[in-house]
Amino acid sequence: MSARKGGGLRRFRWLLVFLLLGAGAWWLLAPGLSTFDVADGSYLFLDVGGTYEEQPGDDLMAAISGERNQSMVDFLLLLRAATEDERVHGLVARVRTLDVGWAKAQELRSSLAAFRQSGKKLVAYIESEFGNGTLEYFVASAADEVFVAPAGSVVVGGLLAQYVFLGGVWENLDIDMQVVKIGEYKTAGDMYANREMAPPHREMAESLLDSLYGQFVSAVASARGMDEAQVRRFVDRGPMSVDALTDSGLVDGTRFLDEIERDLTGDVGFVDARDYEGAVPVSEVEPVGRVAVVFGAGTIVTGESAGGVVRDEMSMGSDTMREAFLEAAEDDDIDAIVFRVDSPGGSALASDLIWRATQRARERKPVVVSMSDVAGSGGYYVSAGATRILADPGTLTGSIGVVLAKPNLSGLLERFGVRTTSLRRGANAGIVSLVESFDEEELAQVRASMQDVYGLFVDRVASGRAMDAEAVDRVGRGRVWTGEQAKERGLVDELGGLLDAIDAAKVEIGADPGEKVEVVFYPRERGLLERISDAFSTRVAQPPWMRRLRGAIAAYDFPTGSILTLMPQQIEIR
């Protein structure tokens, strides 16, 4: 390369860095420079759909391009601000396909319902095509009026949960798959070991469906002025045409969005929620305290949390969580901590390390847990020692148990002409080998180690929940509960979402739930230069359908040979 070309490339790189720094500075400062004006009597327009991550994003390139995804916190705070803003008289929510679980859907719906209950008008406009829209309709049903696009379709067909079993695959591949579990409901390994659903698994799965379906029916019946038997009959008739939905009272008819806008605002038009975010009035009320919100999302692992620019596959790292809790606990300006958990579990060791971090923090200030879509197994383990635990009714939690899987790949390797020779010192050195199965002595030792981990798990829960070990075991044994069921069994204290947990933290510090507090998020956001570096990473986001397919086939990342506090295979109920 010539000197001239090399110098030109260097100048280009520096120019790119300066442009990114300038764009980053604009992104950080722009919210404070907004001059957007919201007139009295305004109607907001809000898109409801897609994925809502837990922690507010710090994706630089998405922010620069204006495509930053709204987080759950963003959504909840925007709705609360709009509810309290006297300039805002109403809101129209366009509901599209949601890629969330039932707990997050309940939090979205609850925030919309609170807006309506404040006396302001709420209209839902469902824009979807054929497909099970039960979850989307559930969210939309919080509105005063529910309309459907004329060419759209809303299939309120009920709930469906599907499970995959790979037990018949291994013999065709000459793989000996051994799965060891403590607790008959600990079905994380059943996907790998079984050919069909075992009776305890079916009992648990049916119970979860009954609980969630009951919550759905009750909410819709209350919102639409029906009795629950009517709602169940209408769902059983699905899919219904839009006319039939209107006749049944589940929706109020078909409209185009521009017709709704004209009827509500005349020629003024809606105020887009993205513009409103920059014009939310700043409260002049002095906060009575500071609350730290620590986010823990994804599979629980040792080391650092993972997420990066693309947050479709996250992990909750024990080192990252320990540092976040330590920083929040040692900050004298922080009065209480809210731990927001969205995790199916993972490493038993990492779960215990994070549990320890919560206990050290609790020695200094209250720790309130807010459970999101999933807080099961290790996700419950890290929550169990909190001062107070809140879950949404549809949260999947519990799953107090442990599991281990070990495949013997020697037969598969021999198919390809690969042979292995193992040399060992120590009678049980082969216990970690992936080309040997457990013998009886090794299996007995593995079970004993797993029983010790299960006993520790039970003790942690018993201590945190002020229960005896026998009572914990009765609701444990790997069984998953909805938040509603978990409350009935003493595993959680209260039903509610993230904002309810913040209110509970206020009470813990002697404040009134209606008083203002300053909220600080942990782990802390990365620096600008780190964001720029991550922005040029080669990681590619997976579309929602691919994530669902991966979940159906592969469940969670299932480390072999490690004792795991992991939920059953990914539970997705639509």
Check residue 216 and give its pLDDT.
97
Which residues of the chain are in CATH 3.90.226.10 domains? 36-157+238-277, 290-566
Q: Encode pLDDT of 472-514 as tens digits.
A: 999 999 999 999 999 999 999 999 999 999 999 999 999 999 9
Sign of CA dihedral 78, 84, 88, 91: positive
What pLDDT does residue 61 have?
43
Q: What is the mean pLDDT of residues 367-373?
A: 98
Q: Average model confidence (pLDDT) for the chain? A: 85
Q: Give the Cα separation of 376 and 281 in Å (integer).
A: 38
**564 neighbors 403 (Cβ within 8 angstroms):** yes
pLDDT at 154: 84
Which pLDDT value is given to residue 20? 60
The structure's pTM equals 0.86
pLDDT in tens, 516-568: 999 999 997 655 444 444 444 333 333 443 344 334 333 334 444 556 666 65
Cis preceding linkage at 239, omega within 30: yes
- State the pLDDT at residue 187: 85
pLDDT of 314 over the 50 cut? yes
Pair 214, 483: CB distance under 8 Å: no
Is the pLDDT score of 335 beyond 70? yes
How confident is the model at residue 70, as a pLDDT?
77
Q: How far apart are CA 212 and CA 199, in angstroms?
A: 20
pLDDT at residue 291, as a whole number:
97
pLDDT of residue 55: 84
Give the C-alpha separation, 321 to 296, whole Å: 7
Which H helix or E strand runs over 46? strand 42-50
The reply to whether CATH 3.30.160.110 applies to domain 36-157+238-277 is: no
Q: What is the pLDDT of residue 233?
A: 95
CB neighbourhood size of 400 (10 A): 30
What is residue 14's predicted lDDT score, i.e. its pLDDT? 58
Please give the average per-residue pLDDT across 304-314, as a whole number.
Answer: 64
pLDDT tens-place string over residues 215-238: 999 999 999 999 999 999 999 987
Residue 193's pLDDT band, with cuts at 50, 70 and 90, is: confident
Predicted confidence (pLDDT) per residue in 56-111, tens digit:
865 444 444 444 567 999 999 999 999 999 999 999 999 999 999 999 999 999 99
Backbone angles phi, psi at 133, to 5 degrees: -110, 25
Q: For residue 505, what are the contacts with CB-CB under 8 A and spacing of at least 6?
A: 291, 335, 336, 337, 338, 366, 368, 517
Q: Place 424 in a pLDDT band, splitting at 50, 70 and 90.
A: confident
pLDDT computed for residue 570 by the predictor: 57
Q: Could you tell me which CATH number the domain at 290-566 has? A: 3.90.226.10
